[in-house]
Structure 1
Amino acid sequence: MQIRDLPHTDPGEPDVRSGFRFLVWLFRRQLGGQAKALGWGTLHMTTVALLPLLVGLGIDAVVDGSGGGLAATGVAMVGVAFVMAFADTMLHRTAVTNWITAAARVQQLLARRTAELGGVLTRRVAAGEVVKVSTGDVERIGWFVESFSRFAASVLVTCGVCAALIVYEPVLGLLVLAGIVAVVLSAWPLLPAATRRADRERSRSGRATELASDTVAGLRVLRGIGGEELFLERYRRASQEVRRASVHNARMWSLIDAVQVVMPGLLMIAVVWQGARLALDGELEAGQLVTIYGAVSFLLFPLRQFQEAAMAFTFSRPSAKRAVRVLGLRREAVTADAPGAGEAADRGAVELPSTGDLWDPETGLLAAEGRLTAVVCGNPELAERLAERLGGHPAQGTGGPSARLGGAPLDAVPLAVARAAVLVQDKDPVLLSGTLEQLLAVPASGRVTAAEALGAAQCHDVLTTLAQSAPEGSGDPMRARITERGRSLSGGQRQRLALARSLITDPPVLVLDEPTSAVDSHTEARIAEGLGALRAGRTTVVFTSSPLLLDRAEEVVFLHEGKVAATGRHQDLLRSHFAYRSVVTRETETADLAEENA
């Protein structure tokens, strides 16, 4: 595969049982590129290894006074040099291609998993860890995949040179072989410690990245309460921990580098000493001695490849583990004894109806088709998990049953199908950077126009603000640019734009988690009216405790301790159910009311 062919048509399904298995899987997906790099690497190193032999032949020709032999040797050296340069060029191109294609494959896998999990991802894995995987870790994983073929070429050529030296001069050949083994094994005991230190550095770096992203995201709020210095001090401490871990890790690699310099130096001294003795005894000619010395000098080059491969593997292992933690996340399937388990076993066998009631077996929540249902839940975490389940994500780690639409389990169908039927807007939606027109350019039924969605979400003041920042004084708010995560807007403005984006999509089922928590009561009342009118005849579920929204709902469902405790109209529940009234109006329970409710 060439870089121009990226992105991959299908990045494949990775082996996420462990970081090492993931690296092996990634390597196997690029066998063609690895074979090319191995071939070019072997050819390049072979030509480099031939130079000492040609130099030795040239010296012998000079000693023998053979002009023809010297000329032939010179021509051969020029030819070998051209082949060496060409092979080195092709090796570099192939190696970089392997690196980039491997990194691109991992990035595509991460993007696919992020798209599959959506907002659930950052609730299962820290945002800083996701950022770390998609940036530095991807590069280190690609580095290992790229370096392995060059390492394999170094092993092949080293074995070939050692075998040739043994045949050429058995005593020196065996000495060189023993020295090479000693050099390689000298760094082996240090690698586990280097791996542990690299793991520690990655962990500290991921924590610092997470703190940095949290601080930047909340800087506006932190300045409002005067807390930016506190968070900056936390980041300073975290960055100092990263620095100490990096220095600690660098010391180990400095030690490994020192060993890799000392051991080959000792080997060279031993070879020169032994070769000089053999030359003095008349067993070696000058050209042969130069050839052996040049061959040993050449072997120092593949030894550096061994060290680079060890570094790449050491650094990539923690990166692969972190990537596996993200790539291993899945929509959790229902358990074998849970309702719908038979259908979920064969995801392609279940068809999701386009209409029907939305039912959650775990809580007993039933949102009738075509109605606006408000859900009151005193526990925000429970409401968040329920919203995930209604979107086709079963409760994480509980093995609970999936929510059902028209009797079909949502987690038994492909995620794209479930999302086309049920759209979930969580309580902290993200606005991507770009123009307002780009923000609202989402897959939609076409039934709801942008003007209708913006009107129902009461975005008039937002449009006025954006019109003032429109380019070239056009006054067109649709061309105005929204900054990253909508930070140039207030919390209420961001929330209303996100609501408009969900409304324009016009899904068969719309689930909103606290869609008006950041707006004032007058705006909230108008949003409640506009939402009911725009979603008339469509199934809508709103998690809220706002009396203004609850009063507009066609049915209110009250959840208590994870189960449906009461259903009805808002005013009826206020009169008849104290627990509901205490959640909605924030009343404090008294003994008299408790007895009355009993």
Structure 2
Amino acid sequence: MNPRDATQPRTGSAILRIALRRNAGAMTWGAVLMGMYQAGETAFPIALGLIVEHAMRNRSLGALGLSIAVLAVIITTVSFSWRFGMRILQKANTTEAHRWRVEVASRGLQPVARDVDLRSGEVLTIATEDADQTADIIEVAPLLLSSLVAVLVTAVALGLASVRLGLLVIVGTIAILTILSVLSRRIGSGTREQQARVARAGAKVADLISGLRPLRGFGGNHAAFASYRTVSTQAKHQAFVVARANGVYAGAALALNALLAAAVTLMAGRLAFQGQISIGQLVMAVGLAQFIIEPLKLFAQMPTYVMVARASAERMALVLAAPPVTIPGSGRPTPGGGDLEVDGVRYGSLNELRFTVSPGEFVAIAAYQPRSAADLASVLAAGVPPDDYQGTMRVGGADAADLSIEALREHLLVNPYDGEIFAGTLRTNIDPAGTGRLVAEAVAASMLTDVVDLHRDGLDHPVRDRGANLSGGQRQRLSLARALAADADVLVLHDPTTAVDAVTEQLIARNVAGLRRGRTTIVITTSPPLLDAADRVLVLDGGAITAEDSHRNLLSTDDTYRLTVAR
């Protein structure tokens, strides 16, 4: 097994543990500084009470100056500890979110088993919102500890003035947290459901955008929009449910905190009236009663953040734990091996499919049924797990089932008929890594030169998302140029010229054959120019190879072939 997959987190709890473990240093320093901040905040009313007590006994200017200096030190400590503590925690949070975004995006770009019920729109939500919310755990834990420090310091300070005041704070805090923990369980389950529904709505939007043109073509856009409205409405209703639960939770937290503060204030006033505590201690108690509301409020908010982080981590685990479509192995294709063998493959409409392509050969496969062409392209592109089809596919003499995705794609590239176009430029679409040696040759072979020459920026001409500013033929030629520029040992093209005119198609066929001379090339097509340019043609009918010859010989000897491919 690939070590990378073996160490991949399988559960949300594992993801949270990883995040906490690799940010332990930042969280420790953050907890120390935020603890100093809370201690300083707590020390302020304590110092104020002591100053009042001291001033009533000793009314000297020196004592007043010393008191002001002490308050200045406390304020400075509070300011700098907050500033640097939050800087450390937010940097760690942002860095951790970036790590998970990259991890989820990397995993999402790899084919995974088809039983994983996640669409591209959901993966996008997981790689953005869920990654950010999972990383929030980095801030939650230190802030929770710092709030605990504030409560303990308050309880000790009040306990020194009066044991009853200290016990009131401790017992009240425990009661508040117990009540809120019960309320937070409902928020957790509701939040998980809300995140799932929002992600489904995002996936529906992505599907609508990608299929808007064909939907409009046959008048299905209104039905599609109605479907999205249903999903979005469900997400909205669930958001209302969570909002109501959060509102009840926040209101209860605020009321309980205020109740505790009022109880401390009233008890302190009564004790002062009875002469059991001094005026300075009363000032301290009233100040601490007001201050303790903030750390208790933070305490109350923490379970919500934890629930959201856990729910987001569980959703990320769905992507990270998704099994790859190939069995990760250590096998590698023979260096320079450009042969491809399909032996007895049964999948979908394919029925005991067998054929071999020798290194450097240009072979066309004329599929009479579009379903067979699509199934064959899926198998060759490793879009189907080896366990899901019978038979064997070998690349460079190595069984594809024993290869990792990375090893397989080093030697075999399948360019789909609907290749995606990305926002950027013509150049970045053709050569995303910026390392291609055949960009100019690929542009010329795919007849994309006219698009490049049409714009002053040439290859740096901007391309909108999904190639919205390009025609269908231009997008197809751009996708073909990208496949040719990759210069793979084995290149499979699936219907690369369906959106171009006959003259351009003729030129592309000749150019592709010339550029790929000496490199193994397979074209799944019924295009006469491409079939004619191939060294030989394999006829795929009924899921199996039924004939094999040159294009011209098949035209003269096979009536079905002639009727299928002749235009």
Q: Same fold (TM over 0.5)?
A: yes
SS in 1 for 2:77: helix
Of 566, 572, 588, which aligns to 2:546? 566
- The letter of the residue matching 1:93 is R
User: What's the secondary structure of 1:297's corresponding residue?
Assistant: helix
Relative distance call for 1:260 and 1:514 in structure 2 (3 A) is: same
Q: 1:485 aligns with which of 462, 466, 469?
A: 466
Among 103, 108, 117, the residue aligned to 2:102: 108
Determine if contact 2:431/2:439 at 8 Å carries over to the other structure: no
Write the distance in 2 (CA, Å) between the matches of 1:228 and 1:372: 41
1:559-585 Cα shifts (integer Å, max 9, x gaps): 5676x443512667789999x859946
Counterparts of 1:399 and 1:284, CA distance in 2: 83
Is 1:530 matched up with 2:511?
yes
Distance 1:464 1:333, change over 3 A: closer
Quick check: 133-142 or 407-416, which moved more? 407-416
Q: CA deviation at 1:205?
A: 1.8
CA pair 413-137 structure 1, distance change in 2 beyond 3 A: same
The correspondence of residues 304-323 of structure 1 with structure 2, limited to 5 A, is 304-323=297-316
Instruction: Report the residue type matching 1:375 in the other structure.
Output: I
| Secondary structure class of the residue paired with 1:516 | coil
State the secondary structure of the residue aligned to 2:388. Answer: coil
Q: Is the 8 A contact 1:14 1:22 kept in 2?
A: no
Shift of 1:445: 9.1
> Does residue 274 of the first structure (1) align with residue 267 of the second (2)?
yes
Matches within 5 A, 1:160-559: 160-334=153-327, 345=329, 347=330, 350=332, 352-361=334-343, 363=345, 364-376=354-366, 383-384=373-374, 386-391=376-381, 395=385, 398=388, 403-410=393-400, 412-413=402-403, 415-441=405-431, 448=438, 450=440, 452-459=441-448, 463-465=449-451, 467-470=453-456, 477-558=458-539
Q: Which residue of structure 1 aligns with residue 351 of structure 2?
A: none
Aligned twin of 1:56: 49
Instruction: Give the distance between the partners of 1:481 and 1:325, measured in 2 at CA.
Output: 35
- Which of the residues 76, 91, 103 maps onto 2:70? 76
* Matched pairs, number: 553
**C-alpha distance in 1, partners of 2:168/2:11?**
40
* Alpha-carbon RMSD: 3.5
Question: Per the alignment, do residues 184 and 570 of structure 1 end up closer, same or farther by CA in structure 2, a change over 3 Å counting?
Answer: farther
Shift in Å, 1:496: 1.5
- How much has 1:381 moved relative to structure 2? 6.2
Letter in 2 for 1:125: L
Contact 1:491–1:518 (CA under 8 A) maintained in structure 2: yes
1:90 matched residue in structure 2: 84
Report the CA distance shift for 1:151/1:511 in structure 2 as closer, same or farther (over 3 A): same
Unaligned runs of 5+ in 1: 1-10, 335-343, 472-476, 587-598
Provide the rounded CA distance (Å) in 2 between the counterparts of 1:126 and 1:558. Answer: 34
Give CA deviations for 1:286-308 in whole Å, capped at 9, x if unaligned: 22233233333322222222233
Structure 1 residues 228-286: Cα deviation after superposition (integer angstroms, max 9, x where no partner): 44444444444333332222211110000110011112212322333333323322222
What secondary structure does 2:421 align onto? coil
Looking at structure 2, the residues matched to 81 and 181 of structure 1 have their Cα atoms a distance apart, in angstroms, of 29
Report the equivalent of 1:142: 135
**Quick one: which of 8, 11, 14 aligns to 1:18?**
11
Query: Match for 2:34 among 41, 45, 51?
Result: 41
Q: What secondary structure does 2:521 align onto?
A: strand
Deviates more, 1:134-143 or 1:99-108: 134-143
Counterpart residue identity of residue 410, structure 2: A
* Structure 2 counterpart of 1:8: none
**Change in CA separation of 1:556 and 1:318 when aligned onto 2, cut-off 3 Å:** farther
SS for the counterpart of 1:510 is strand
More displaced stretch, 86-95 vs 294-303:
294-303
What's the secondary structure of 1:531's corresponding residue?
Answer: helix
Cα deviation for residue 220 of structure 1 reads: 3.9
**Alpha carbons 2:326, 2:403 under 8 Å: kept:** no
* CA 544–12 in structure 1, closer or farther in 2 if over 3 Å, else same: closer
- Partner deviation per Cα, 1:513-532 (whole Å, 9 max, x = no partner): 22223334454344333322
- Cα 1:351–1:238 change in 2 (3 A) is closer
SS in 2 for 1:32: helix
Contact 2:272 2:279 in 1 (8 A): yes
Residue identity in the other structure for 1:470: R
Structure 2 SS opposite 1:331: coil
Instruction: Tell me if the contact between 1:392 and 1:403 (Cα under 8 Å) persists in the aligned partners.
Output: no
Contact 2:33 2:85 in 1 (8 A): yes
Verify the 8 A CA contact 1:107 1:134 in the aligned structure 2: yes
Structure 2 unmatched ranges of 5 or more: 346-353
Q: Structure 1 residues 270, 444: CA separation in 2 closer, same or farther (over 3 Å shift)?
A: closer
* 1:458 shift after superposition: 3.3
SS in 2 for 1:403: strand
Offset of 1:408 from its aligned partner?
2.0
Any conservation in 2 of the 1:378–1:583 contact (CA below 8 Å)? Answer: no
Hey, what's the Cα distance between the residues in 2 that align with 1:548 and 1:502? 19
Of 39-48 and 510-519, deviating more is 510-519
Specify whether residues 264 and 480 from structure 1 end up closer, same or farther in structure 2 by C-alpha distance, changes over 3 A only: closer
SS state at 2:136 partner: helix
Q: 1:577 to 1:126 in 2, by over 3 A?
A: farther
Q: Which segment is superposed worse, 373-382 or 354-363?
A: 373-382
**Range with bigger deviation, 96-105 or 521-530:** 521-530
1:545–1:583 Cα contact (<8 Å) kept: no
Alpha carbons of 1:214 and 1:447: their partners in 2 closer, same or farther (altered >3 Å)? closer
Tell me the distance in 2 between the aligned counterparts of 1:292 and 1:307.
22
Question: Which string of whole-angstrom CA distances, capped at 9 and with x for unpartnered residues, describes residues 433-465 of structure 1?
Answer: 333334333569977462x43343233xxx435
Taking the aligned partners of 1:41 and 1:362, their CA distance within structure 2 comes to: 66
2:145 is the alignment partner of 1:152: yes
Q: 1:367 to 1:180 in 2, by over 3 A?
A: same
Residues 457/396 of structure 1: CA separation in 2 closer, same or farther (3 Å cut): same
Q: TM (normalized to structure 1)?
A: 0.82
Distance 1:295 1:447 in 2: 70
How far apart are the structure 1 equivalents of 2:412 and 2:373?
Answer: 16
Identity value in percent: 27
